[in-house]
Amino acid sequence: MHHDPALWTDPDEFRPERFLHERPPAQQYLPFGGGPHQCLGRQFSLLEAVTAVVTILRQGKFELTSGQFGGRLRPAIALEPDPHPRAVFSLHRAGPGMAADHDGTAR
Protein backbone atom coordinates (compact mmCIF):
# COMPACT_ATOMS: atom_id res chain seq x y z
CA MET A 1 0.00 0.00 0.00
CA HIS A 2 2.74 2.51 0.89
CA HIS A 3 4.55 1.86 -2.41
CA ASP A 4 1.47 1.70 -4.66
CA PRO A 5 1.82 4.08 -7.66
CA ALA A 6 -1.98 4.23 -7.92
CA LEU A 7 -2.08 5.90 -4.49
CA TRP A 8 1.14 7.95 -4.44
CA THR A 9 3.12 10.07 -6.88
CA ASP A 10 6.70 8.72 -6.89
CA PRO A 11 5.98 6.14 -4.14
CA ASP A 12 9.63 5.08 -3.77
CA GLU A 13 10.89 8.64 -3.24
CA PHE A 14 11.40 9.95 0.31
CA ARG A 15 9.28 13.11 0.19
CA PRO A 16 7.88 14.02 3.63
CA GLU A 17 6.62 17.35 2.23
CA ARG A 18 3.78 15.43 0.59
CA PHE A 19 2.08 15.52 4.03
CA LEU A 20 2.52 19.27 4.66
CA HIS A 21 -0.74 20.59 3.28
CA GLU A 22 -3.19 17.72 3.57
CA ARG A 23 -3.64 14.46 5.41
CA PRO A 24 -3.76 11.27 3.37
CA PRO A 25 -7.04 9.32 3.36
CA ALA A 26 -7.45 7.10 6.42
CA GLN A 27 -6.74 3.77 4.70
CA GLN A 28 -3.94 5.07 2.47
CA TYR A 29 -1.20 5.65 5.06
CA LEU A 30 -0.85 3.30 8.03
CA PRO A 31 2.65 3.73 9.48
CA PHE A 32 1.99 1.31 12.37
CA GLY A 33 -0.51 -1.00 10.68
CA GLY A 34 -4.09 -1.17 11.88
CA GLY A 35 -6.58 -3.10 13.94
CA PRO A 36 -5.58 -5.57 16.64
CA HIS A 37 -2.27 -6.34 14.91
CA GLN A 38 -0.66 -2.91 15.20
CA CYS A 39 3.09 -2.60 15.51
CA LEU A 40 4.33 -3.46 19.02
CA GLY A 41 6.73 -0.50 18.88
CA ARG A 42 4.01 2.11 18.21
CA GLN A 43 3.71 3.43 21.77
CA PHE A 44 7.48 3.36 22.27
CA SER A 45 8.16 5.30 19.06
CA LEU A 46 5.58 7.96 19.96
CA LEU A 47 7.08 8.29 23.45
CA GLU A 48 10.55 8.53 21.91
CA ALA A 49 9.38 11.32 19.57
CA VAL A 50 7.92 13.32 22.47
CA THR A 51 11.12 12.79 24.48
CA ALA A 52 13.24 14.06 21.56
CA VAL A 53 11.11 17.21 21.16
CA VAL A 54 11.20 17.93 24.92
CA THR A 55 14.99 17.43 24.98
CA ILE A 56 15.44 19.94 22.15
CA LEU A 57 13.02 22.47 23.66
CA ARG A 58 14.80 22.33 27.04
CA GLN A 59 18.02 23.44 25.33
CA GLY A 60 16.62 26.77 24.18
CA LYS A 61 14.02 29.43 24.72
CA PHE A 62 11.21 31.22 22.89
CA GLU A 63 11.33 34.99 22.51
CA LEU A 64 8.83 37.42 21.01
CA THR A 65 10.22 38.93 17.81
CA SER A 66 8.51 42.29 17.64
CA GLY A 67 7.04 44.11 20.61
CA GLN A 68 5.46 42.38 23.54
CA PHE A 69 2.06 40.81 23.89
CA GLY A 70 -0.33 43.56 24.95
CA GLY A 71 -2.52 41.30 27.06
CA ARG A 72 -5.61 41.48 24.83
CA LEU A 73 -7.48 38.24 24.25
CA ARG A 74 -9.94 37.51 21.46
CA PRO A 75 -12.69 34.92 21.92
CA ALA A 76 -12.52 32.04 19.43
CA ILE A 77 -12.92 28.32 20.11
CA ALA A 78 -10.56 29.15 22.97
CA LEU A 79 -9.22 32.53 24.00
CA GLU A 80 -6.32 33.57 21.78
CA PRO A 81 -3.95 36.55 21.86
CA ASP A 82 -4.87 39.51 19.67
CA PRO A 83 -2.80 40.19 17.64
CA HIS A 84 -0.93 36.88 17.44
CA PRO A 85 2.58 37.43 18.79
CA ARG A 86 5.45 36.03 16.72
CA ALA A 87 8.16 34.09 18.49
CA VAL A 88 11.50 32.55 17.55
CA PHE A 89 13.24 29.62 19.18
CA SER A 90 16.95 29.84 19.84
CA LEU A 91 19.24 27.15 21.21
CA HIS A 92 21.60 27.93 24.05
CA ARG A 93 25.28 27.53 23.28
CA ALA A 94 27.09 25.04 25.48
CA GLY A 95 30.48 23.42 25.27
CA PRO A 96 30.90 19.86 23.98
CA GLY A 97 29.21 17.39 26.30
CA MET A 98 27.76 20.16 28.47
CA ALA A 99 24.10 20.93 28.95
CA ALA A 100 22.93 24.51 29.14
CA ASP A 101 20.74 25.90 31.90
CA HIS A 102 17.68 27.95 31.02
CA ASP A 103 19.62 31.22 31.34
CA GLY A 104 22.13 30.03 28.72
CA THR A 105 24.99 29.29 31.07
CA ALA A 106 26.70 25.92 30.85
CA ARG A 107 26.38 23.63 33.82
**Is 21 a domain residue?**
no
**Is 45 a domain residue?**
yes
Q: What is the pLDDT along the chain (107 residues), one digit of tens a residue?
A: 788 888 888 889 988 888 888 888 777 878 788 778 888 888 899 999 999 999 988 888 877 776 666 667 778 888 777 666 777 888 876 655 555 555 555 54
For residue 42, is it left (φ>0), alpha (ψ between -120 and 50) or beta? alpha
Domain of residue 68 covers 31-91
Domains identified in the chain, total number: 1
**Is 15 a domain residue?**
no
Paired with 79 in beta bridges are 75
**Is 23 a domain residue?**
no
**Is 8 a domain residue?**
no
**Is 49 a domain residue?**
yes
**Is 96 a domain residue?**
no
